[in-house]
C-alpha cells in the first residue's frame, strides 16, 4: 500500500536538489576539515608525551596546557582511554576525566557547534565507559546521559549510536537486559546504514554476550558462531579472537570440553596473530580456571601450567604468581604435597623480584596453612585476591582470614 507522504517527500527532495550550495558554507566546511586534520597530525605524540612526563596524580592539571586544548589532542586521549581500559582502567578513567574537562571548557566559538558537540559527546562517552570498567555503573550511565545530551543535531546519528552502544553494554552489567537488547538492535541498524561493518559486528558480539549473561548458552553459541566469518571478512583477528574465546566459554558451560578446547586454542592463536600475545596468555589462564571450575581438572591444569610458564618467560612475576595460586587451589584435594611445593616456588619468585613485602607476608601465612593442612580453596583465593589488590592499594595490610 502506497503512502501519500511519498509524493511530498519527492517534492521536498527535488526542491532541495535544485538548491545550490552556499559557497561560504562550503568554504567554512573545507577549512574546518583541514584544521581538524592538521590538529590530529600535530597531536600524535603530544598527548602521550604529556602523560608520560607528568605524574599520574597531576594529570588533571594538564587541562590548562594550550597544546592539549584542541580536537586533535582530544582524539588522542580517546585512543589512550581505549588502549588502557583493560590493563589500567584507573588510568583510563583519569584520562577520560581530563578529556571531559577540556571538552567542556573549550570556548563556544572554538569550533562549529556540531564539531564541539561531537568532541564533548565522545569525551563523556569515554568517561562512561571507563566508569563502567571499574564497576561504577550509576555514574557511568550518568556520564552517558551527558554524552547523549550533546548529540541533538540530526547529522550526528552515527555518533549517537556509538554512545548508545556503550550504554547497551553497561545496561547488561546491571541486568537491564531488555533495554540493552533494544539499544543493540537500534545501533546495529544505524551502523549497517552507515556502512560501519566493524561496529555492526560489535553489536552482534554484544548480543551474544548478553545471551551468555542470561545463561542462554546454546543461543549465545549460535549467535557467536556465524560472526567468525564476518570478522575474517573484515580482516579483524582481534575480534575473531574474542569471538572464539566467547564460543569456548559457551562450550564449557554446555559441557562440551572438546569444542571448548578447539575454540580457546583458536582464540589464543588469533590473539597472537593480532599482536596481542599477553591477551593470549591471559586467555589461557582464564580458560584454565573455567575448565577447572567445571570439573575438567586435567585440561584446566594443563592450560594453567602453560599460562604460568609463559608469564615467567615474559618476566611477568606477579601474573605468574597469581596463576600459580590458581594451580595451588586446584591441587589442594588431589595433590597437597605438589600444592605446598608450588606455593613455596611462588614465594621464592616474589622474594627474588623484590615484590611488595605485604604479599610475602600473605604467602608465608598460606604456606604455613598448607604445612598444617589447614588451607582451603577459599583461603587460597583470599590470599590471591589480596595480592592482586596491592597493585592499586600497595599499603593495604594483610589480615589472616
pLDDT for residue 399: 82
**Those residues with Cβ within 8 angstroms of residue 283's Cβ, 6 or more apart along the chain or in another chain:** 241, 245, 264, 267, 268, 271
Q: What is the pLDDT of residues 173-215, one digit of tens each?
A: 888 999 999 999 999 999 999 999 999 999 999 999 999 999 9
pLDDT for residue 14: 42
Per-domain boundaries in the chain: 41-51+67-171, 196-273, 308-401
Inform me whether the pLDDT recorded for 254 exceeds 60. Answer: yes
Inform me whether the pLDDT recorded for 41 exceeds 90. Answer: no
Distance between terminal CA atoms of the chain? 72
Tell me how far apart the alpha carbons of residues 166 and 186 are, in angstroms, rounded to a whole number. Answer: 13
Tell me how far apart the alpha carbons of residues 230 and 381 are, in angstroms, rounded to a whole number. Answer: 39
Tell me how far apart the alpha carbons of residues 321 and 18 are, in angstroms, rounded to a whole number. Answer: 71
Inform me whether the pLDDT recorded for 267 exceeds 50. Answer: yes
Confidence of residue 21 (pLDDT cuts 50, 70, 90): low
Percent of the chain past pLDDT 70, that is, above it, reads 91
Domain covering 196-273 in this structure, CATH number: 1.25.40.10
Tell me how far apart the alpha carbons of residues 350 and 317 are, in angstroms, rounded to a whole number. Answer: 7
Question: What predicted TM-score, i.e. pTM, was given to this entire model?
Answer: 0.75
pLDDT for residue 103: 96
Q: What is the pLDDT of residues 295-352, one digit of tens each?
A: 889 999 999 999 999 999 988 888 899 999 999 999 998 899 999 999 999 999 988 8
Lowest average pLDDT, out of 116-125, 244-253, 350-359, goes to 350-359
Inform me whether the pLDDT recorded for 19 exceeds 80. Answer: no
- 41-51+67-171 shares its CATH topology with 196-273: yes
pLDDT for residue 217: 94
Q: With H, G, I as helix, E, B as strand and everything else as coil, classify residue 19.
A: coil
pLDDT for residue 26: 52
Confidence of residue 225 (pLDDT cuts 50, 70, 90): very high
Stretch 74-90: mean pLDDT: 89
pLDDT for residue 127: 96
pLDDT for residue 4: 37
On the 0-12 / 13-18 / 19+ scale of CB atoms within 10 A, 19 is: exposed
Confidence of residue 401 (pLDDT cuts 50, 70, 90): confident
Q: With H, G, I as helix, E, B as strand and everything else as coil, classify residue 398.
A: coil
pLDDT for residue 13: 46
- Supply 135's cell numbers: 564497576
Say yes or no: domain 41-51+67-171 is CATH 1.25.40: yes
Tell which residue, 199, 205, 271, has the closest CA to residue 241: 271
> Looking at per-residue confidence, does 358 or 219 come out higher?
219
Largest Cα span, the chain = 89
Amino acid at each position: 500500500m502506497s503512502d501519500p507522504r511519498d509524493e511530498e517527500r519527492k517534492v521536498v527532495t527535488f526542491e532541495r536538489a535544485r538548491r545550490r550550495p552556499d559557497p561560504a558554507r562550503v568554504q567554512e566546511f573545507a577549512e574546518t576539515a583541514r584544521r581538524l586534520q592538521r590538529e590530529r597530525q600535530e597531536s600524535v605524540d603530544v598527548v602521550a608525551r604529556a602523560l608520560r612526563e607528568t605524574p599520574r596524580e597531576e594529570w588533571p592539571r594538564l587541562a590548562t596546557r594550550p597544546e592539549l586544548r584542541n580536537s586533535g589532542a582530544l582524539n588522542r586521549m580517546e585512543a589512550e582511554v581505549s588502549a588502557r581500559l583493560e590493563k589500567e582502567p584507573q588510568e583510563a578513567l583519569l584520562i577520560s576525566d581530563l578529556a571531559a574537562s577540556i571538552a567542556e571548557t573549550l570556548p563556544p566559538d572554538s569550533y562549529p557547534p556540531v564539531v564541539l558537540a561531537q568532541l564533548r559527546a565522545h569525551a563523556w562517552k569515554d568517561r562512561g565507559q571507563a566508569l563502567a570498567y571499574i564497576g561504577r555503573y550509576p555514574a557511568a550511565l550518568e556520564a552517558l546521559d551527558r554524552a547523549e545530551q550533546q548529540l541533538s543535531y540530526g547529522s550526528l546519528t552515527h555518533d549517537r549510536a556509538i554512545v548508545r552502544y556503550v550504554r547497551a553494554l553497561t545496561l547488561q552489567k546491571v541486568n537491564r537486559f531488555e533495554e540493552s537488547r533494544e539499544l543493540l538492535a537500534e545501533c546495529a541498524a544505524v551502523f549497517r546504514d552507515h556502512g560501519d561493518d566493524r561496529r555492526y559486528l560489535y553489536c552482534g558480539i554484544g548480543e551474544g554476550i548478553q545471551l551468555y549473561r542470561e545463561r542462554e548458552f546454546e543461543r549465545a553459541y549460535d549467535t557467536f558462531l556465524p560472526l567468525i566469518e564476518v570478522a575474517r571478512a573484515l580482516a579483524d583477528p582481534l575480534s575473531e579472537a574474542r569471538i572464539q574465546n566467547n564460543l569456548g566459554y559457551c562450550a564449557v558451560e554446555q559441557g562440551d570440553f572438546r569444542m571448548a578446547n578447539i575454540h580457546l586454542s583458536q582464540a589464543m592463536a588469533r590473539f597472537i596473530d593480532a599482536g596481542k600475545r599477553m591477551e593470549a596468555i591471559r586467555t589461557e589462564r582464564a580458560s584454565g580456571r573455567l575448565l577447572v571450575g567445571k570439573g575438567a581438572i586435567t585440561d584446566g591444569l594443563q592450560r594453567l601450567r602453560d599460562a604460568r610458564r609463559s608469564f615467567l618467560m615474559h618476566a611477568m612475576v606477579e601474573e605468574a604468581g597469581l596463576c600459580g595460586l590458581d594451580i595451588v587451589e586446584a591441587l589442594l584435594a588431589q595433590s597437597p604435597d605438589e600444592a605446598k611445593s608450588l606455593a613455596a616456588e611462588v614465594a621464592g619468585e616474589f622474594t627474588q623480584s623484590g615484590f611488595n613485602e605485604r604479599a610475602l607476608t600473605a604467602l608465608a601465612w598460606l604456606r604455613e596453612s598448607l604445612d598444617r593442612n589447614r588451607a582451603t580453596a577459599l583461603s587460597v583465593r583470599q590470599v590471591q585476591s589480596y595480592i592482586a589488590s596491592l597493585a592499586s592499594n600497595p599499603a593495604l595490610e594483610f589480615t589472616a582470614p
